């Protein structure tokens, strides 16, 4: 059956750019605008996979499934600020205009009565375009991606009735042909203006701007080579399954890496491409909660990858040693392994935050220590980095507004790691004293022996010591040592915001992160050039993240954003 919508959607339309597609995708993922539902031909219904997963080709670069539930969208419109809602509405209007308004349709009137609970948009890589008429210096004229929409049809008879009312006289010339037994309707026009549509089993409407993409999609459905058949896809999606999530997405990491490697002037080094090929996918679903958004994600390695993950989940106690007013905390299981993983994935990568070799040279130049041998070799226990505000009355710029606290479990006094740590601290004290002319003085804070670094100007700059037999601490900046030495009665772990933000699942955890964004934004100014970003950040109250390595090939993530409520 060919529904009238197939003909009606064949109006003149510019080819959607990847930039707009990905920007909208980022918005939908960032604010929670996708969901999932999956129909399998001849197989049981699965709630774990996105709608169209048994149709979309395996090499899809990105898929996003979007809920059509008005109540869920109503919840979204209650979150954030007026500024962020205005930005969301602007992007959604552009998306609706591109696919509906320009073709004479209104979602609520013409689509909603018959469409299923969710719809999916997939971005597919397209073959290189050998167009000699276009300047080769323009990347987008050579390397293009196509997009296809999957609309589940809940009520075929309603869909037929709704679109029968639409006038077709201005739709241009339409051509129908069979491909693999499925009717494809295509509007004739200039390249980039040919829309094609098809109905599969009266269950799904496919719409795309590229006939080859339509044929590839039909092939993947007929040959059972779709995403649902991709190794690890269904298995890993099941790890983050949730009943009626507001959003669901999938990113094909190796496909994205190939595109980045082939793009002129942006080619990735071969060693970087090889490392990225070890990864297979990143997926997540998003749900709306009364006070914010929650994202449950999973990433997994390629089944043929030689690289494996260290199943080491030791984080989860450092929040009990930090004061309640802590602004930010990140804790992890093993800093040495963290560094090793970073080296393996960033070596030779121009997009990496920093070059490992350059950092090692900088450490050697600044403090005359070997980063790996003198420092990281004994940093194999749980660690944390935290930012604590200086609440004293003399919190002048000279005395710093916050203190940066590093803590790590370095073993007991009889252990080898503890001895290596103490040796390193002695070397560091000598460098600070002899090379930088700091005063290095022993002191006592609330009964604990510490070592203070005092700058040539007389300002206390840093303090280090042991909180117990195995826990080493280092404070830089504001003099907040007393707050962590006197084990606080009101800890970060007892902070209501921490409890409500940091997810309770994924125990034991590989890492934890907490950020009191509202206090940071209110108390610290940002660069004026970041005004748009600050408007977005101002909508966030707190951020909580927890990760866990479940096996040697997959890692799970749980992210919570507590948001402000829109004030009408």
Are both 227 and 328 inside the same structural domain? no
Q: Going by C-beta distance under 8 Å and a sequence separation of 6 or more, which residues neighbour residue 499?
A: 493
Give percent of the chain with pLDDT exceeding 90.
Answer: 48
Tell whether 130 and 223 lie within a shared domain. Answer: yes
According to the model, what pLDDT value does residue 410 have? 93
Helix (H) or strand (E) holding 85: helix 82-99
End-to-end Cα distance, the chain = 47
Check residues 105 and 203 and name the one with the higher pLDDT.
203
* Structure tokens that stand for 184 in this block: 């494809």
On whether both 175 and 318 belong to a single domain, the answer is no
Domain count, the chain: 2
| pLDDT for res 39 | 30
pLDDT band for position 179 (cuts 50, 70, 90): very high
Q: What is the mean pLDDT of residues 429-433?
A: 96
In this prediction, residue 460 carries a pLDDT of 84
Q: What pLDDT was estimated at residue 568?
A: 55
What pLDDT shows up at residue 399?
58
One domain for residues 225 and 324: no
Task: State which of 289, 321, 348 marks the end of a domain.
Answer: 289
Looking at residue 11, what is its pLDDT? 41
Same domain, 27 and 134: yes
Which residue would you say has higher pLDDT here, 85 or 333? 333
- The residue among 86 and 273 whose pLDDT is bigger is 86
How confident is the model over 111-126, as a mean pLDDT? 88
Residue 339 domain-assigned? no
Domain C-terminal end among 258, 289, 320? 289
Tell whether 468 is covered by a domain.
Answer: no
Per-residue pLDDT, averaged over 285-304, amounts to: 91
Q: How far is CA 531 from the centre of its chain?
A: 22
Domain for residue 364, yes or no?
A: no
What pLDDT was estimated at residue 269? Answer: 58
Q: What confidence tier does 272 reach under pLDDT thresholds 50, 70, 90? A: low
Do residues 123 and 181 share a domain? yes
For the entire predicted model, the pTM comes to 0.82
Higher confidence at residue 368 or residue 16? 368
Measured distance CA(395)–CA(516) in Å, rounded: 20
Question: Would 247 be classed as within a structural domain?
Answer: yes
Q: Is residue 363 part of a domain?
A: no
| The pLDDT value given to residue 423 | 95
φ/ψ of residue 29, rounded to 5 = -70, -45
Residues β-bridged to residue 509 = 315
- Band (pLDDT 50/70/90 cuts) for residue 397 is low
Average pLDDT over every residue of 406-430 = 93
Whole-number pLDDT of residue 223? 95
Q: Calculate the alpha carbon distances from 338 to 140, 185, 297 in Å.
A: 36, 53, 20
Look at residue 94 and tell me whether its pLDDT is greater than 90: no
Q: Which of 256, 289, 322 is the last residue of a domain?
A: 289
435-438 — which CB contacts under 8 Å span 24+ positions?
Answer: 435/368
Query: Which residues have a Cβ under 8 Å from the Cβ of 197 and sit 6 or more positions away?
Result: 5, 6, 9, 10, 184, 185, 186, 205, 206, 207, 208
Asked whether 309 and 280 are in contact (CB, 8 A), the reply is no
The answer to whether residues 308 and 401 belong to one domain is: yes
- For residues 320 and 144, which has the higher predicted lDDT (pLDDT)? 320
- What is the reported pLDDT for 40? 31
**Token pair in block for residue 168:** 């077709």
**Res 427: pLDDT:** 96
The answer to whether residues 179 and 306 belong to one domain is no
Q: Does the residue 466 lie in any domain?
A: no
Decide if 450 contacts 465 (C-beta within 8 A): yes
The reported pLDDT for the residue numbered 13 is: 39
Between 539 and 17, the higher pLDDT residue: 539
| Nearest CA among 80, 153, 178, 140 for reference residue 567 | 80
Per-residue pLDDT averaged across 282-293, rounded? 92
Residue 266 covered by a domain: yes
Specify the pLDDT at position 164: 43
pLDDT bracket for residue 170 (50, 70, 90):
very low
254 and 316: one domain? no
DSSP 267: P
Q: For residue range 499-541, what is the model confidence (pLDDT) as tens digits?
A: 999 999 999 999 999 999 999 988 776 554 455 667 778 889 9
Could you tell me the pLDDT band of residue 280, with boundaries at 50, 70 and 90? confident
Mean pLDDT for the chain overall: 80
pLDDT 10s digits, 231-261: 899 999 989 988 788 989 999 987 777 776 6
For tokens 């719809």, name the residue: 119
Letter string b/e over residues 504-530, b meaning 16 or more CB atoms within 10 A of that residue's CB: eebeebbbbbbbbbbbbbeeeeeeeee
Does one domain contain both 176 and 240?
yes
The verdict on 77 and 171 lying in the same domain is yes
Q: Highest-confidence range of 84-93, 184-193, 434-443, 455-464, by mean pLDDT? A: 434-443
Where is average pLDDT lowest: 197-211, 311-325, 388-402, 412-426?
Answer: 388-402
pLDDT tens-digit profile of 187-219? 765 555 567 888 898 899 898 878 999 999 999
Residue 17's pLDDT band (cuts 50, 70, 90): very low
Residue 350 lies in a domain: no
Average pLDDT for 157-178: 62
Q: Give the domain range for residue 328.
A: 302-334+379-408+474-563
Strand-pairing partners, residue 548, are 556
Q: Which two tokens stand for residue 455?
A: 């700058």
- Whether the pLDDT of residue 485 is over 60: the answer is yes
In the chain, what percentage of residues exceed pLDDT 70? 76
Based on the fold, state whether residues 189 and 265 are members of the same structural domain.
yes
- 31 pLDDT exceeds 60? no
Across residues 68-93, what is the average pLDDT? 85
């Amino acid at each position: 059956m060919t529904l009238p919508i197939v003909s009606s959607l064949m109006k003149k339309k510019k080819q959607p750019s990847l930039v707009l597609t990905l920007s909208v995708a980022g918005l939908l993922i960032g604010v929670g605008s996708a969901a999932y539902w999956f129909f399998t031909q001849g197989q049981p219904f699965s709630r774990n996979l996105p709608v169209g997963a048994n149709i979309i080709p395996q090499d899809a670069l990105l898929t996003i499934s979007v809920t059509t539930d008005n109540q869920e969208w109503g919840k979204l419109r209650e979150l954030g600020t007026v500024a962020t809602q205005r930005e969301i509405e602007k992007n959604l209007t552009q998306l609706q205009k591109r696919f509906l308004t320009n073709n004479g349709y209104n979602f609520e009137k013409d689509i909603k009565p018959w469409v299923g609970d969710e719809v999916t948009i997939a971005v597919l890589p397209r073959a290189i375009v050998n167009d000699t008429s276009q300047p080769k210096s323009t990347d987008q004229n050579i390397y293009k991606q196509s997009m296809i929409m999957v609309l589940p049809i809940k009520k075929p008879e309603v869909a037929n009735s709704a679109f029968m009312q639409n006038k077709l006289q201005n739709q241009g010339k339409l051509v129908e042909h069979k491909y693999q037994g499925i009717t494809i309707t295509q509007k004739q026009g200039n390249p980039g203006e040919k829309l094609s549509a098809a109905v599969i089993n009266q269950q799904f409407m496919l719409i795309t701007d590229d006939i080859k993409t339509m044929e590839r999609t039909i092939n993947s459905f007929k040959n059972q080579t779709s995403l649902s058949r991709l190794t690890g896809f269904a298995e890993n999606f099941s790890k983050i399954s949730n009943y009626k999530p507001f959003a669901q997405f999938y990113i094909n990491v190796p496909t994205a890496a190939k595109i980045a490697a082939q793009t002129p002037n942006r080619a990735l080094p071969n060693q970087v491409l090889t490392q990225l090929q070890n990864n297979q996918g990143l997926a997540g679903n998003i749900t709306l909660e009364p006070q914010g958004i929650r994202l449950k994600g999973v990433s997994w390695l390629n089944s043929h990858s030689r690289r494996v993950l260290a199943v080491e989940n030791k984080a989860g106690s450092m929040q009990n040693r930090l004061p309640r007013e802590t602004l930010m905390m990140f804790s992890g299981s093993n800093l040495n392994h963290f560094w090793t993983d970073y080296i393996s994935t960033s070596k030779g990568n121009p997009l990496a935050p920093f070059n490992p070799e350059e950092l090692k040279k900088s450490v050697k130049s600044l403090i005359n220590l070997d980063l790996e041998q003198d420092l990281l070799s004994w940093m194999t226990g749980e660690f944390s980095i935290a930012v604590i505000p200086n609440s004293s009355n003399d919190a002048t710029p000279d005395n710093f507004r916050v203190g940066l606290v590093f803590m790590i479990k370095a073993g007991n006094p009889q252990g080898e790691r503890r001895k290596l740590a103490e040796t390193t601290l002695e070397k560091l004290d000598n460098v600070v004293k002899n090379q930088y002319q700091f005063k290095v003085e022993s002191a006592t804070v609330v009964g604990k022996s510490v070592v203070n670094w005092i700058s040539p100007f007389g300002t206390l700059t840093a303090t280090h010591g042991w909180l117990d037999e195995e826990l080493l601490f280092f404070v830089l900046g504001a003099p907040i040592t007393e707050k962590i030495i006197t084990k606080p009665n009101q800890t970060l772990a007892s902070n209501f915001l921490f409890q409500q933000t940091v997810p309770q699942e994924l125990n034991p955890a590989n890492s934890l992160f907490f950020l009191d964004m509202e206090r940071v934004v209110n108390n610290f100014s940002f660069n004026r050039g970041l005004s748009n970003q600050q408007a977005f950040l101002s909508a966030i109250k707190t951020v909580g993240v927890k990760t866990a390595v479940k096996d040697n090939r997959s890692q799970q993530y749980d992210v919570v954003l507590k948001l402000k409520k829109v004030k009408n």
